[in-house]
A and B are shown apart, each in its own frame.
Chain A
Amino acid sequence: MKGFKWTMAAAFAAGLASAAPMPAKAQAQDSIFIPLLSYRTGPFASSGIPIANGMRDYLEMINQRDGGINGVKIVIEECETGYDTKKGVECYDSLRSRNPVVVNPYSTGITLQLIPRAAVDKIPMLSMAYGLSASADGNTFPWIFNPPATYWDGASVMVSYMAQREGGFDKLRGKTLGLIHLDAPYGKEPIPVLQAMAEKYGFTLKLYPVAAADMQNQSAIWLNIRRDRPNYLYNQGWGAMNPTAVREAIRNNFPIDRLVGVWWAGGDDDARAGGAQAAGYRSLNFHQAGTEFPVIQDILKHVVDKNLSRVDARSRVGENLYNRGVYNSMLMVEAIRHAQQLTGKKVVTGEDVRRGFETMNITEARLKEIGMEGFAAPVRLTCADHNGHNRVFVARWDGTRYVRDSDWIEPIRDVVRPLIEDAAKKYAEANAGWPRRTETCDQRS
């Protein structure tokens, strides 16, 4: 036994010694580095895996089909965060010195941590339709971008949709909207807007927080929902919480067509968990699911068929969250293209890509060019508006896939935008020494 202990101690020491050097890999001068903070493990993996695959496959497709963005290869590297803030920040620290041109944290918690660092490190951050809603204010947050819509836009769309179904905003008086949400910064984001709207339109808002530890055990909260009988239920959940919410709604006889998820609650696996009865579950969305778009066909041809993808089955390409990942990568690639146009450089830096985002204008024509006609709405950002507050639609789970169920709905901008500017001001005040915007504003070419 003594000898054994010794060997173990020696092995332990050797392990530590071998781990000491951590050289940063040298970057070639003719490529652009895009790290993907993804999560394929942990309680949120069911939502994280399709997104990670979609993000990766679109970038890989650009590399395979076009040889990169205007001929500049993209170096893609994933870093596993497990949706854990600490690990996410560790990933960021390990990647920062390699000059990434843009970072997507893919977690509201990690985004909140990195927001103050983006300006210091000169790396733009894309938190696509998640993160701090207030960061849509480009004057306060020149380095953060959250197109195409914020959670606050989403909440306002939910109220508009409710009004559409009820036949007008005046019919909302006396109705009840329940918000079932993850009890974390992500889930709490829409509360201020819903409160403001409840006051304005006279409906009652009920909150149903679900702690991260109870994501798969929501019976207590559904007891309250059964008692309160809200007319509509807005679901701001993520990961294992969503399939449970769908199942519980069915079990508790809550009308499934009145359960509407935010866009992140629109995973195929979330709805599939409810079986046939889940048909009719709704979720907000800003892009289409399915494989019929040229861009998805190109991914199938250039990536999946060449075995370069990490999807476990071909049928999973085109799922709603997979396409979300594709959309996310499309935004990054378009921002880099704009940056190349703006600076005339081929290999752009983080600073250039920030300017690329601020001048980003993806029109219908441009969407058609990149094989995304009908896939999503146009996106246009400005220096002051880093979000666009774009149109959103409601998708319906038909039993096998998500289909569009409503027209494009405009967010109630005149309520959301002042709230955002106010929140941004408060954020800057609370964080003493918040830098004033010194970055110049580029004119769109």
Chain B
Amino acid sequence: MFYREAGQYKTSYKADMSVFPLLQDRIGIIAILAIAFVAVPLFASEFIILSVMVPFLVFALAAIGLNILTGYTGLISLGTGAFMGVGAYACYKLTTLFPGVNIIVWIIVSGFFSAAIGVVFGLPSLRIKGFYLAVATLAAQFFLQWCFVRIPWLYNYNASGAIEVPERTLFGLAITGARSSPEVRYLVLLSIVVFLTWIASNLVHGRIGRSWMAVRDMDIAAELMGIKLLPTKLLAFAVSSFYCGVAGACMMFLWYGGGEANDAFNVNQSFIVLFMVIIGGLGSLIGSFLGAFFISTLPTILKFGVPAVGIPLTGALAEHLTHIMVGALIIFFLIVEPHGLARLWQIAKQKLRVWPFPY
């Protein structure tokens, strides 16, 4: 009723294969983009932009990265935090060595460094699977984090041992550093996220995505069909790490404005992104966004939103509640809806399609 496809005929292969075949979906996505690009910077408060939207977008990008590897290709990774760190430190080194080049270029380029490291740690994936691979990526997490802390060259020998993000501008407008406005940072980040999501969507809907999913569903069958396992798996590692690396660079430069690996890129970070992917939905781009939004904003909502509507909740209690809720929700989702929030969204769409006459 609200959402029906009757009368929308597809007369070409192109129309049939499009990502959003329904008119309503296309209107929806345009509306969401319009809200994100225009309404949010115009009307949202600085707090909403900095503490809700920016973390959400950064984590969405990281979740897409992990989802490509874990959700689409079926390779479990616990090294997301470290790959994000590679992006952040690469971007820091690049922008301090070549301050003349625009920071946005370096944020994207830092993803390639992360991709290269990801390929190296993805090499064992041909021989080992499942738990064993998870442990191999955990090794990447610990090894890389050790490097970030122990190799002073990476943080330019700062006395504090932390990245200190310098000011960088675009058309005379500060986009990093203390003087950059939240709106500018948000818009830069949003553009990166939208652009990379578009690329990811094209990847997973095309030949490469199909081969990833074939490997996920049954690698021996995929091999028999002529998919070369090693390049496919390594490509998944590379693309996944690329996204995580860009997310890490965005995190340091557009959100934190500086920081240190033990704090920002530890194993907890890897777990949080994994929870996002599980709760959001494995093998789904929209799931990455839903999961990232849910997990990254839940603590903020409990800590600031609940007291704002008049329920007294102290910070310490909110902190404990967050841990309890995230833990409970993960168990809940694994049992009740293993496909996560993305599947709930799909069910909702299906219901709207047949409303008010369910069959």
A residues in contact (CB < 8 Å) with B: 1, 4-6, 8-9, 12, 15-16, 18-24, 38, 40-42, 78-80, 82, 84-87, 89-90, 93-94, 96-97, 108-109, 112-113, 116-117, 119-120, 132-134, 183-185, 188-189, 192, 211-213, 423, 426-427, 430-433
Q: A79-B315, A86-B264, A119-B178 are in contact. Are A22 and B256 (CB under 8 A)?
A: no
Query: A40 and B316: CB pair below 8 A?
Result: yes
Q: Which residues of B contact A192 (CB under 8 A)?
A: 159
Given A82-B319, A85-B263, A211-B262 in contact, is the A94-B166 Cβ separation under 8 Å? Answer: no
Per a CB cutoff under 8 Å, which of B149, B257, B303, B304 touches A113? B257
Neighbouring B residues of A184 by C-beta, 8 Å: 161, 260, 262-263
Which one, A5, A21, A40, contacts B315 given CB within 8 A?
A40
Contact between chains at B256 and A86 (CB < 8 Å): yes
Whether A5 and B47, one on each chain, are in contact in the complex, defined by CB atoms closer than 8 angstroms, is: no
| CB under 8 Å from chain A, chain B span 213-233 | none
Q: A132 to B320, Cβ gap below 8 A? A: no
Q: Is the CB of B315 within 8 A of A113?
A: no
A selection of 13 A-B contacts at a CB cut-off of 8 Å is A5-B344, A9-B347, A19-B306, A80-B303, A113-B257, A113-B259, A120-B178, A132-B160, A183-B262, A189-B159, A431-B164, A431-B167, A433-B179
- Interface stretch among B1-9, B10-18, B242-250, B293-301? B293-301
The 4 closest A-B pairs by CB, nearest first: A80-B315, A19-B305, A116-B178, A19-B301
Evaluate contact between A116 and B99: CB separation under 8 angstroms: no
Closest chain B residue, CB of each to CB of A182: B262
Per-residue CB contact flags for chain B residues 133-173 toward chain A (1 = under 8 Å, else 0) read: 00000000000000001000000101111101011000000
Q: For this complex, into which size category does the number of interface residues on chain B fall?
A: 35 or more
B38 interfacial by beta-carbon distance below 8 Å: no
Across the interface, name the chain A residue whose C-beta is closest to B320.
A41
Contact: B304 with A423, CB < 8 Å? no
Main secondary structure of the interface of B (DSSP, over half): helix
In the assembled complex, the Cα of A192 lies from the Cα of B160 at a distance in Å of 10
B260:A109 contact, CB within 8 angstroms: yes
Q: How far is the CB of B102 from chain A (nearest CB, A)?
A: 14
A80 to B315, CA, bound (A): 5
State the CA gap A20–B35 with chains docked (Å). 15
A18: B residues at CB distance < 8 A: 305, 309
B309 touches A80 (CB 8 A): no
Residues of chain B having any CB pair with chain A under 8 Å: 45-48, 50-51, 55, 96, 99, 149, 156, 158-162, 164, 166-167, 177-179, 256-260, 262-264, 266-267, 294, 297, 299-301, 303-306, 308-309, 314-316, 318-320, 336-337, 341, 344, 347-348, 351
CB <8 Å contact, B264 and A93: no
By beta carbon, the residue of chain A nearest B259 is A85
Cβ 8 A contact of A185, one of B162, B179, B300:
B162
Task: Check A430 against B315 for contact (C-beta < 8 Å).
Answer: no
Taken together as a complex, chains A and B put the C-alpha atoms of A334 and B304 apart, in Å, by: 30
- CB < 8 Å neighbour of A94 from B179, B294, B304, B320: B304
Contact of B47 among A22, A116, A133 (CB under 8 A): A22
A432 / chain B contacts, CB cutoff of 8 Å: 99, 166-167
The smallest beta-carbon distance between B93 and chain A, in angstroms, is 13
- Pairwise interchain contact A109-B47, C-beta atoms closer than 8 A: no
Q: Known: A5-B336, A5-B337. Is A80-B167 also a contact (CB below 8 A)?
A: no
Instruction: Give the chain A neighbours of B294 by CB distance below 8 A.
Output: 12
CA–CA, A117 to B297, complex, Å? 23
Q: Is the CB of A120 within 8 A of B262?
A: no
- Known: A113-B259, A185-B161; 18 extra A-B contacts, CB below 8 A, are A5-B337, A6-B351, A9-B344, A9-B348, A12-B294, A18-B309, A19-B305, A38-B315, A80-B319, A85-B256, A85-B260, A86-B55, A93-B47, A94-B47, A116-B258, A423-B159, A431-B177, A433-B166
**Across the interface, do B167 and A433 meet the contact criterion of CB distance under 8 Å?**
yes
Residues of B within 8 A of A5 (CB): 336-337, 344, 347
